[in-house]
Amino acid sequence: MTRDLPEAPPGPGGPALPQHRRLVTAIPGPRSTELLARRTAAVPPGVSTVLPVFIERAGGGILLDVDGNSLIDFGSGIAVTSVGNSAPRVVARVTDQVARFTHTCAMVTPYESYIAVCEALNRLTPGEHEKRSMLVSSGAEAVENAVKIARSYTGRPAVVAFEHGYHGRTLLTMTLTAKNLPYKHRFGPYAPEVYRMPMAYPFRWPTGPDRCAEEALATTIEAIEVQLGADQVAAIVIEPIQGEGGFIVPAPGFLPGLADYCAAHGIVLIADEIQTGFARTGQMFASEHEGIVPDLVTTAKGIAGGLPLAGVTGRAEIMDSVHVGGLGGTYGGNPLACEAALGAIETIEADDLCGRARHIEEVMLPRLRALAARHGVVGEVRGRGAMLAVELVAGPGDKTPNPTATAEVARRCHAAGLLVLTCGTYRNVLRFLPPLVIDDALLLDGLDVLDRAFEAL
C-alpha cells in the first residue's frame, strides 16, 4: 500500500501499559463483579465466560481490568492477538481506515486492501502453485466456504473429519466438530454427509505412539474405501494441530499420508489453520512442520490482530471452479479488518514473530517438562512454538483424564493473575497461547504462577 500512514502509537495498548502482573483486588474485583451481575441480566448463560474480569485495556502480554488488576495473558483471546493487543501497526492502519470509509461491501464496490490481503495469503500459505483467496468474517464461515468450494469442484457430497476436531459452531461446522458438550448438545439434527475418522493421537493410541500414524491412516483409508467410496469424498478436513480438542499434534507421518491419499483420489485436502496459522507454531503455518501442501487452507484468528477476518486460500483451479456470485457475504473482507490484517502480517514478518514463537517454545518447554517430572498428574507435555499444553491424568501409569485437577490449576492461576485456558475432549488439557510479543520476564513470571498452582494441588 502506498498511502502515508499516521504515526504508530508508542507501544502496545497505547502509551505505557506496564508489563507487570499486579493484583490490587481479589479476582474478579468489585467493578467486574458489578458488571457480571449486569451481564447475567442481559446475556443468556449459553454465551459463557472463562474468567469474568472485564477488560479496560490490553497490550503486550498484559490484560488490564476495570479494577486496575494487570493479568498475564496466556490465552491471546484464543490464539487471536498473536501480534499483541492494539499492536501499533494494526492501530495505525485501522485508525486511518475508519476515518476514510468503514464499509462498501466488497461484492458491491471493491477496495485495494481486500486484494492486498488475498495476495499476502496466496504468498504465505504453503505451496508455490497458483492460488486464490476469498475473505469472510469468522473461522466457521471460512470452513463452511472451504467445504462448499470442495463440493462444487469435485461434484461429490461426503466430507471426512476427525475425532477431537473442532471447526466452529454453525450447523455444518458444528457437525464437523467432534465434541457433544458444549458444542452440539440438543442442536441437532446435524448436516448430512459428514463422516468421522480416528485421530492419530499418540498419547492415547491403544497400541502406543509408534504405531499410531500408520494404524490411524490405515483405519481411515479402509473406512473411506469400504463405507463411503473414495470417489464420493469431496474433502478431508483436518487441523494440522488440533486446538479445542486438546492441542493434539498428530503422530508424524499421518498428515503426509492423508495428503498423499487425497492427491491419489482427487479428494480436496482442507487444512484448518484457523488456530495454528500466522506464526503461532513457529512456522507461518503448521502444515509446514511436516511439509504438507494442502489444497485449501482456512485462516482466521491471528490473521488480523483481533479484528474479525477469515479466509479460504487454495489452488486456483479449485477456487475458480465456483460459479460467478456463488461466494460472498455482506461483511466478508471488511475494510477495517483488511487493514488490520495488513498491519498484523507486516508485524509478523518485520518482527520475525515465527522466531519469537520458537523462542517462547524454548523458554516454556523445559519448564513444562520439569513440571511434568515433579507432578504425576501431568501425563504429557506437547505442542509447537507458542501453542503448548499439558494433559492432566489421574497419575503415573494411569491415563484416566483428570478434568478436576485441570480446573483447579486453572482456577488458582486465574486467582493469582495468570489467564490460562483449558481444552480437550475430556476437559483435561491446560493450554498456553501467549501473545508472540510477550516479554520474557512476563513469560517466566507466568510459569512461576503455574508452578505454584500445581504445588497447591
- Give the interface with ligand PLZ as residue ranges (CB under 6 A): 78, 138-140, 143, 166-169, 239, 243-244, 272, 274-275, 300
Grouping H, G, I as helix, E, B as strand and the rest as coil, residue 188 is coil
Neighbours of 288 (CB within 10 A): 17
Q: Least Å distance between CB 238 and ligand PLZ?
A: 10
Query: Whole-number minimum distance, CB 244 to ligand PLZ, in Å?
Result: 6
Q: In what order do the strands lie in the sheet with 418-419?
A: 55-59, 62-65, 70-73, 418-419
Which residue's CB is nearer to ligand PLZ, number 66 or number 310? 310
Instruction: Determine the residue with CB nearest ligand PLZ.
Output: 139
Least distance in angstroms from the C-beta of 426 to ligand PLZ: 16
In this structure, what C-alpha cell is assigned to residue 148?
462448499
CB of 255 to ligand PLZ, least distance (A): 15
**Interacting residues of 415 by C-beta distance below 8 A, sequence separation 6+:** 26, 27
Do the bridges between strand 233-238 and strand 268-272 make them parallel or antiparallel, or are there none, so unpaired?
parallel
Give counts: helices (H), strands (E), the chain: 13, 16
Contact present, 354 and 94 (Cβ < 8 Å): no
**Residue among 69 and 275 whose Cβ is closer to ligand PLZ:** 275
Which residues are CB-contacts of 388 (< 8 A; sequence separation ≥ 6)? 247, 360, 361, 364, 365, 368, 381, 382, 431, 432
Cα 312 from Cα 299, distance rounded (Å) = 7
Bin 68: left if φ > 0, else alpha if -120 < ψ < 50, else beta. left
| Burial annotation 174-183 (CB, 10 A radius, 16+ → b, else e) | bbbbbbeeeb
The least distance separating ligand PLZ from the CB of residue 186, rounded to whole angstroms, comes to: 16
Contact 415, 367 (CB under 8 A): no
Task: Kindly tell me which of 139 and 246 has the beta carbon lying closer to ligand PLZ.
Answer: 139
Nearest CB to ligand PLZ, comparing residues 254 and 454: 254
**Comparison of 90 and 143: residue with beta carbon closer to ligand PLZ:** 143
Instruction: Report in angstroms how near the CB of residue 175 gets to ligand PLZ at its nearest.
Output: 13
| Helices marked H in 224-271 | 254-265
CB of 8 to ligand PLZ, least distance (A): 27
Nearer to ligand PLZ, 181 or 324 (CB): 181
> Which CB, 91 or 248, lies closer to ligand PLZ?
248
- State the Cα–Cα distance between residues 106 and 442, nearest whole angstrom: 41
Minimum distance, C-beta of residue 189 to ligand PLZ, in the bound complex (Å): 21
Report DSSP letters for 271-329, one per residue.
EE-TTTTTTTTSSSSGGGGGT---SEEEE-GGGGTTS--EEEEEEHHHHTTSPTTSS--
Considering the complex, state which of residue 73 and residue 272 has its C-beta at the smaller distance from ligand PLZ.
Answer: 272
Are 52 and 65 within 8 A, CB to CB? no
Structural contact between residues 147 and 233, judged by C-beta atoms closer than 8 angstroms: no
Nearer to ligand PLZ, 188 or 208 (CB): 188
Closer Cβ to ligand PLZ, 65 or 239, answer by number: 239
Cβ 452 to ligand PLZ, closest distance in Å?
A: 28
C-alpha cell at 191: 448436516
> 87 or 421: whose CB is closer to ligand PLZ?
421
Helical (H) or strand (E) element with 373: helix 353-374
CB of 17 vs ligand PLZ, minimal distance in Å: 25
Measured from the CB of residue 176, what is the shortest distance to ligand PLZ in angstroms? 9
> Shortest gap between Cβ of 400 and ligand PLZ (angstroms)?
25
* Nearer Cβ to ligand PLZ (241/447): 241
Query: Smallest Cα–Cα separation from 238: which of 182, 184, 198, 209?
Result: 198
